[in-house]
Amino acid sequence: MEFRMKKFRAFLTLSLCTLLGTAFVLPAIAKPATKPTTVPSTPAVKPTSDFKSPAELMKQLKAEKDRQSKMSQVVYFNLYDNLSEGQAPFSLFGDYKLNLRSLLERLEKVKNDPKVKGVLITLGDPGLSLSQAQEVRDALAAVVKAGKPVFIHADGYDTTLYTMASGASDICLLEGGELMLPGVGIESMFFKDLFDKFGVKADYVQIGEYKGADESYTRAHASDELRGEMKKLTEGMFEEIVAGIATARKLDKKVVADSIDETMIPAKVAKARGLVDHLVDQDGLRDVIAKKLGNDIDLDTRYGEPKREAMDFTNIFSILSSLTKKSQQEPNDSSKPDIAVIYAEGVIVDGDDDDNPFSGGGQITSESMRKTFRMALRDDNIKAVVVRIDSPGGSALASEVMWQGLRRLAAKKPVIISVGGMAASGGYYLASAGDTIYADPTAIVGSIGVVGGKFVLEGLFEKLGIHTERFAQGRNAGLFSMNEPFTERQKVMVTTWMKGTYDQFTSRVMHTRKDKIKDIDQVARGRIFLAKQAKELGMVDELGGVEAAINYAAGKAKMTKGQFDVRILPAPRTLADMFAGGGAGGAQSAFPFKAS
């Protein structure tokens, strides 16, 4: 036991000395005597100490600091996991996780920072859409244009990842990796024949012959109108991908198109064609970067991160204080005015957000958006608003609620729309409330039309031996009953109602775009467009991402870069917000009038 303790103490001494940067000679550990003896053992050799003086330690620290100052600062972003569009809706200690918005913001900062000499990005599966990948590509290209190399590495690239990577100056690929570029494919499933087997009928009404949202349930195959729209989309996306890669990599379009047709391209072939620049694993990246920069590198892994408030995890009161601190609902601490960014992502539904912070999300709720618009309207420090939309549509009533709220906001402050992956149907309904619409080049825009109905399960119930009996008063009490289809009279009633919704939809669009869209019938009736074509038709004003929209909004508010802060609304909720009943926009935003 004593011998083990001595070894442990010796190990501790050696470890501490190593950490202190000193050399220390350990005395020899004498073996226990086999017999008791009165003869003194030979005295151990007195250790020689090489402890450095404080002056020497300071000199060593200064030398290390000087060495680091001579190294090239390279900013590093690890995009291995999912990269969300904006902040998480709930955060215990503050949302410091990198998202698309903060990545673009930091790349913009890199571009103008003289201390930064380059950028390194490693990729896993960030889960980006094609439109988001194009935004990152353009941001990387801007950094390269500013004279700073951008290195991007992945073990393998698919179409989306490679589109993003094409903006870098140096694309790095694992030597045993590959490019997997299958092109563009959209598949739709049609369930009518299956429904017939089970006795289910989809009784739907469609307003707009190109509005094919119900065809998956009402048809066995796509209509000619829907088939034509899908063909138009895939062709447009393919052209955008080929042109984008060819331009960024300075390659002939045919080389890119042929590579996509081959689909699986081994690393060495990709390098020979100029699709990638370096075949290297992650551990070899430092040497590749240092060689290009002509200097050793210092990787900065926290570039642009907000300052984190120190928390004492040994003090329960410190932890509780951090957990119950309210989210940043007031203007930023700086004296600068704000540009607010509001995210509208998912299917549009009626009602308010679920108070459960761990719920999946993926919805745009009309009441929470109305509160958020109200909050932006009442905050005097917010000078302009950007609404970032990525939505396939949803409830017509919820879309109207949000349109009204956003138009009220636009009457007082500039409102700019930024379309990410999609602003279709109700998503475009909301977009039309803005003063100006920006869209990523491959964003899907339009689908101005209405579809609705019900599933009739009478036949299925009969097969299952389920019998129902209805007790009702009123001619149309069974209008939405799933036991019978619409009567002819009800079908006329529903069609008339939906035509009224369609007319309201088109009138909302023309309210803000009457001087831009020449013929609403040409762009409505359920048609869908890529943003590039939508711009030609007056449905979109400019092609560009969220950063371009923010800068334009600032200009409308008579501000330039450096004169404003970007503020996300609503801020992530904390436990304090939940305990206080604080939903989106806080308690005051729940009322249509200001409390006196």
Percentage of the chain modeled with pLDDT above 90: 71
Dist CA 345 CA 353 (whole Å) = 13
Say if residue 7's pLDDT is above 50: no
Where does the pLDDT of residue 592 fall: very low under 50, low under 70, confident under 90, or very high at 90 and above? low
Q: Which CATH superfamily is domain 328-448+517-590 in?
A: 2-enoyl-CoA Hydratase; Chain A, domain 1 (3.90.226.10)
Confidence of residue 56 (pLDDT cuts 50, 70, 90): confident
Confidence band for 291, pLDDT divided at 50, 70 and 90: very high
Q: Which residue has the tokens 């004003």?
A: 541
Helical segments of 175-315, H only: 192-198, 215-218, 224-249, 253-262, 267-272, 285-293
pLDDT tens across 304-359, in order? 887 666 555 566 655 555 555 544 444 455 689 999 999 999 999 999 876 555 55
Note the pLDDT of residue 201: 96
CA distance readout (Å), 560 to 337, 338, 455, 564: 11, 12, 54, 7
Band (66; pLDDT cuts 50, 70, 90)? low
Does residue 446 register a pLDDT over 90?
yes
Provide CB contacts within 8 A for 397, sequence distance 6+.
350, 366
CA 435 – CA 553 distance, rounded (Å): 10
Task: Give residue 53's pLDDT.
Answer: 80
The residue-averaged pLDDT of 495-505 equals 97
Q: Is the peptide bond before 570 cis (omega within 30 degrees of 0)?
A: yes
pTM for this one?
0.82
Listed in sequence order, the residues at least 6 apart from 54 whose beta carbon sits closer than 8 Å to its beta carbon are none
Query: Within 13 A of 38's CA, how many CA atoms are on the CB side?
Result: 0
DSSP 153-175: EES-EEHHHHHHHTTSSEEEE-T
Which pLDDT does position 84 carry in this prediction?
87
pLDDT for residue 85: 84
187 pLDDT exceeds 70? yes
67-185+226-300 and 328-448+517-590 agree in CATH topology: yes
Residue 316: per-residue pLDDT = 63
Among 7-21, 307-321, 393-407, 566-580, whose mean pLDDT is lowest?
Answer: 7-21
| 3-state class (DSSP) for residue 148 | coil
Residues 6+ apart with CB under 8 A from 560: 554
* Region of poorest pLDDT, from 12-26, 75-89, 238-252, 521-535: 12-26
Q: What pLDDT is recorded for position 131?
A: 94
Flag the least confident range among 45-49, 198-202, 441-445, 515-519. 45-49
Q: Phi and psi (nearest 5°) for 202?
A: -95, 110
pLDDT of residue 173: 98
Report pLDDT for 157. Answer: 97
Instruction: Kindly tell me if the per-residue pLDDT of 178 is higher than 90.
Output: yes
Nearest Cα to Cα of residue 443 among 235, 132, 226: 132
Q: What is the mean pLDDT of the chain?
A: 85
| CATH level 3 topology of 67-185+226-300 | 2-enoyl-CoA Hydratase; Chain A, domain 1 (3.90.226)
Q: What percent of the chain has pLDDT over 70?
A: 78
Statement: residue 13 has pLDDT above 60:
no
The average pLDDT across 437-450 equals: 96
Out of 254-263, 347-356, 390-399, 430-439, pick the least confident.
Answer: 347-356
pLDDT tens for each residue of 504-518: 999 999 999 999 999
**Per-residue model confidence as pLDDT tens digits over 117-162:** 999 999 999 999 999 999 999 999 999 999 999 999 999 999 999 9
Q: Residue ranges per domain, the chain?
A: 2-51, 67-185+226-300, 328-448+517-590
Query: Residues 544-572: what's their mean pLDDT?
Result: 93
Residue 172 bridge partners (DSSP): 153, 278
Per-residue confidence (pLDDT) for residue 8, from 0 to 100: 34
pLDDT in tens, 472-496: 899 999 999 999 999 999 999 999 9
The predicted model gives 400-409 an average pLDDT of 98
Reading phi first (left if > 0) and then psi (alpha if -120 to 50, else beta), residue 77 is in beta
